[in-house]
Structure 1
Amino acid sequence: MQSLQAICETPESLFEHSDEELLHLVHKEFPEELDPLQRADSIRDGPWTPPNTPSPSYILYKKDYDEVSRTLLGVLALRWIHTGQYEAFIASQPADAKLTRASFDWIRAFYAQIISDRTSLFTLITLIIIHDLGKDPKMASDCRAQTGEDISTLNHDAILLEACKASLVPKLALLPDEDRVDALRGIELGATFNFGQLAQAENVPASLTGLYKMRGHNRSFKLHFMKQLLKVAGAAGHMDWSCARNLIQPIFDSYRNVYDACEGIIAGTLTVRSGYDLVLTRRAELLRDQNVRVYHVEDVLEDRALMRLLCMGNVTMADEAFLYEGAWQALEDPIRETLVRGLNLDGKRSEPAVQPTYMPVLLGLVKDENALVCIFRYLAQILSATEVGDPVAVVIERSVYTVLKQVIESNEFKNDPSILEMVDVPAGVVLLTTASL
């Protein structure tokens, strides 16, 4: 049987294979990249009913592994895009939020631009497969054994970059020179800038400065963005592998906004602050069209802060916006003022900004105003913790992942959200030390 890399040179022949054959081809090419994902932790969004077909990971391992299934669903989504299977792509997406045919066609056209040569498809699949390797706890320990540096506190994108630098991702070395350079450039960007984090206003303007390095490297940027769309398409693959359940229209719209912001920053027509605010403004316009009040993102700091929270909570409907408004107004004035200040920091050495990683996941689990108020108070503590003892810190990452797993998902929190008042602020990690705002 031909290798996956050879088959990818004629994409039509690759996608003629059945789903099961395609998955086995991928595993045969990437066993050292897929097998470690069995160790990766994941978060589930409460009870769900899985499809009555075996998951992608079960097809390969006779056992369900969340991160393996999520990764492989991204490959299956690639097939649906390539072959124009719109109905398969949206099969069980919620009816009121399904990706439109026009948006699906935009993705197909964008994808067609990328695979215009013989090597790009294999490079794209490689990027999908290795994207979450940093979630394997052994990756950080392997890096430490090789380099002597402890990188276990870094986010998984930064861990992947360090692993690539340490030659611990051997599949990259097999790519043609141009493809390898483009792939690494995207991985380097991803270590400090994440499309999803901008779509959800989780990061800060300083995090976007890495986009400057994409000037003159259009192919690398497009490969990186396409990979990210496919990761979103597969993000619910541990619970529903029947379609690209997570890439619904509201999420696609947010990623299109991010793409436009990035293009403007790379082209020099937008600053990192104005590019960031483009994302916030478009979310405000979406809500305004549903008779939610007008938010003056560029002129009123409190409106801008609240719009960041609405983006973090993936708020796209009027009733959700009113819930957040109610929680915002219920806050004590000093807490609200702390949030306004923290959510408007761009990130610079004199005033480092905090990135509350996993806050969108946490907010997505809360639908009650009282619980939301408690989370806003806790977020105020996180955002005001800007001291890490590093004078060159520009962006400080404080991940609420442990809080999410140990507190928010507990019955105690459901019964009494105020228990968050007793939870310590997460440890800070310096994410960025240089930025040109």
Structure 2
Amino acid sequence: MSTTTPSSLWDYTADAKALFALSDNDLIELINKDFKHELKRLTRAYAIRSGEPTVTDKPSPSHILFDADYDEVNRTLIGILALKWIHNGKYDTFIANQDKTKPLSRKSFEWMQNFFKDAFSCQSDLYALITSLIINDLGKDPELAVDYQLKTKEDISSSNHDLILFKVVSVGLVKCLKGPAHLPQKNVDDIVRGIRLGADFNFAQLVQAENVPACLSGLRDMRGHEHAFDLRFMEQLLDVAGAGGHMDWTCVSRLTEPLFSAWRNVYDATACIVKGDLNLRAGYDMILSWQGELLRKSGFRQLHISNEEERAFSRILCLGNVDNLEKAQLYDQVWSSLDTKVKQSLIHSLNIDGSVDKPAVQPTYMPAFLTEVVMVGGSAALTSALRYLSRVLSGPERLEGSVSVIERDVRGTFQRVVQGPDFEQDPTILEKEPIPSSVPAKVEASSDS
């Protein structure tokens, strides 16, 4: 590296120590120089917020750049600041406002430092990781789907944001991936492989058992591309580190020890699938088993994944982000009191892996939905939510084409009903809501062996 002061983000990534010695404001401004177009798109991206922002005198990352708060800009840039804190060993900054009963452990923080070490030591890998994180949520900008339709005549606006991103990248609509002079093609290829994987498979959805085993089939295509797989996991871990950045931009508020443990387990299980050591169902069930073991250690009863009812209930616990004994007991009590018809419907639907002959339904945004439901209305609201979930999962399954996984996005119901003025007083209004429209989430399913 030249002894002159670096003038660009690319120059700075030759020395991670110099890059992450910059102040937060200078680092954010430096990133904006290279990714101005992409960050501008994120100002239009949708986001779901719950609760009130943390009161702080520190301006948000988006306020530094745009003099206004934009949720997805803040989430993305806090993910990059989290990378800085990991590199610099700023454990206390990282966990500053986390739940004091379950903060990320120092041992887990050190695991991340070791895991990211190779990326810190390679200029193109570090730049590729930052690029990957910047573009991760571009599919949430509704104008991107409009631009794609203008170019291809295909309407993809109802697709999930990961699939939209893959589609637009495929036709060259993400400017920072169109042959940047300084980023080697092998790194661009790794980023695109991760985006292709993300079109079917989302690490966060597996952490929460929101997706189904069929969604994991893309992991087998990463065999021989383990570097690209690790890059994708790094980016996704930083994405969850920034997930609370629109509410608290002073730290990593949501990556607590239980959530990190779940993500570490997901990495181990999916890496085994990539290597060919596990099939899709076995890898998926490892996640359910590990989550069940975490709750058992807190005092909850043992769950047996080999039993269809307990496997279905385990998925519901993951969907609800249940990570402590009190919450697990609440779910258990509601589960036990469900009408037989509703419970049997849930057991059946939650055990479908997904195939063309027997499509599975993915209830997108259900984890945020259930978390808010319990916070607002406790057991009565959760009962209504599980009745609603049974309808979401068991509605008409068939779509045209070779569809193995159907997506039903509950975000609209969440915002209109659960966050509406009447839900707390009468949660049963949820049971009268129509189920969301069906969209293909995965086509051309391959059989697992």
Match of 2:37 among 32, 46, 54: 32
What is the DSSP-based 3-state SS (H/G/I as helix, E as strand, rest coil) of the residue aligned with 2:403? coil
Query: Which residue of 409, 422, 434 maps to 2:432?
Result: 422
TM-score, normalised relative to structure 2: 0.95
Contact 2:407 2:439 in 1 (8 A): yes
Q: Which amino acid aligns with 1:414?
A: E
- 2:446 match: 435
Residue 195 of structure 1 corresponds to which residue in structure 2? 203
Distance, in Å, in 1 between the alignment partners of 2:334 and 2:301 is 16
Task: Report the counterpart of residue 52 of structure 2 in structure 1.
Answer: 47
Q: Does 1:276 align with 2:281?
A: no
Residues in 2 aligned to 1:163 and 1:380: alpha-carbon distance in whole angstroms: 34
Give runs of aligned pairs for residues 161-240 of structure 1, distance below 5 A: 161-173=166-178, 174=180, 175-240=183-248
Q: Which amino acid aligns with 1:162?
A: K
Alignment partner of 2:447: what SS? Answer: coil
Is 1:409 the counterpart of 2:416? The answer is no
- Match for residue 362 of structure 2? 355
Structure 1 vs Structure 2 CA RMSD: 1.1
Q: CA deviation at 1:246?
A: 1.3
The residue aligned with 2:381 is 371
| Deviation of the 1:140 alpha carbon | 0.3
Aligned residues: 436
C-alpha distance in structure 2 between counterparts of 1:277 and 1:311, whole Å: 12
Q: Is the 8 A contact 1:386 1:396 kept in 2?
A: no
Cα distance in 2 between the residues matched to 1:389 and 1:183: 31
Measure how far apart 1:95 and its partner are.
Answer: 1.1
Distance 1:409 1:53 in 2: 28
Match of 1:149 in 2: 154
Question: Does the alignment pair 1:241 with 2:278?
Answer: no
For 2:428 and 2:347, the matched residues in 1 are separated by 21
* Structure 2 residue 92 is the aligned partner of structure 1 residue 90: no
Work out the CA distance in 1 between the residues paired with 2:242 and 2:260: 13
Distance 2:395 2:356 in 1: 14
Match of 1:75 in 2: 80
Matching residue's letter, 2:381? A
1:319 matched to 2:329? The reply is no
1:370 partner letter: A
Distance, in Å, in 2 between the alignment partners of 1:47 and 1:435 is: 44
**What is the alpha-carbon distance in structure 2 between the residues aligned to residue 10 and residue 49 of structure 1?**
33
Give the TM-score taking structure 1 as reference length: 0.98
Distance 1:132 1:28 in 2: 19
Identity of aligned residues (%): 46
- Quote how far apart the aligned CAs of 1:115 are: 3.6
* AA partner of residue 208 (structure 1): L
CA distance in 1 between partners of 2:237 and 2:342 (Å): 36
Give the conservation status (yes or no) of the 8 Å contact 1:81–1:108: yes
Shift of 1:391: 4.7
Unaligned runs of 5+ in 2: 1-5
- Counterpart position of 2:3: none
Q: Give the Å deviation of 1:164.
A: 0.4
- Deviation of residue 349 (structure 1)? 1.2
Give SS of 1:349's match.
coil
Give the AA of the match of 1:279: I
Q: CA deviation at 1:12?
A: 1.5
Matched residue type, 1:322 = Q
The one-letter amino acid paired with 2:388 is: Y
User: What secondary structure is seen at the aligned counterpart in 1 of 2:424?
Assistant: helix
Q: Which whole-Å deviations, capped at 9, do the CAs of 1:287-339 have from their partners, x for residues lacking one?
A: 11122111111x21000000000001110111101110111112110110000
1:308 equivalent among 300, 315, 326: 315
Does structure 1 retain, via aligned residues, the 8 Å contact 2:243–2:254?
A: yes
Q: Secondary structure at the match of 1:430?
A: strand
CA distance, structure 2, for counterparts of residue 50 and residue 395 of structure 1: 42
Amino acid at match of 2:350: L
Are 2:16 and 2:121, in contact at CA under 8 Å, matched by a contact in 1?
Answer: no
